Amino acid sequence: MNFDEIVLSKDELKMLKSLYDHPEQPSENFNQDMLRHFIKNGFIQTNKGNFVIDNSKPLYLLTKKGERYLRYIAKDNFRFWTHQVISIAALIVSILAILLSILSLWLSLQHQ
């Protein structure tokens, strides 16, 4: 599965993480359209047919595919922020080098 092709909104990603962290939450706490979308795409499954808590309310559990997607997003975010931090650090070092060069030139002109 190529997770690059799957784009979830911030709300959908937040809901998927919430399902991962707290699978015991009642289904009423979640957007039903998003739940159907996740089931259709294989990110979650319901416990109906396996066991039922409160005899009527199903639990929604992340599938292996859903867990892999969350790990992929976490790694992708790490790669993105790592590149951003390195780029900003390089920019700061470059600006400092230019400023030091200008200061050095100015000081050398003052001593002449």
8 Å CB contact between 64 and 20: no
Residue 105: pLDDT over 90:
yes
Residue 42: pLDDT over 80:
yes
Give residue 57's pLDDT: 66
pTM exceeds cut of 0.75: no
Cα–Cα distance, 48 to 13 (Å, whole number) = 23
Of the candidates 46, 50, 71, the one whose C-alpha atom is nearest the C-alpha of residue 61 is 46
Cα–Cα distance, 99 to 75 (Å, whole number) = 36
User: What is the mean predicted confidence (pLDDT) over 1-24?
Assistant: 83
Mean pLDDT value across the chain = 84
Domain ranges of the chain: 3-81
Give residue 30's pLDDT: 79
- Over residues 52-103, the pLDDT tens digits come to 455 566 778 889 999 999 999 999 889 999 999 999 999 999 999 999 999 9
Cα–Cα distance, 44 to 17 (Å, whole number) = 11
Give residue 55's pLDDT: 54
- The third-level CATH classification (topology) of the domain covering 3-81 is Arc Repressor Mutant, subunit A (1.10.10)
Cα–Cα distance, 82 to 4 (Å, whole number) = 19
Residue 29: pLDDT over 80:
no
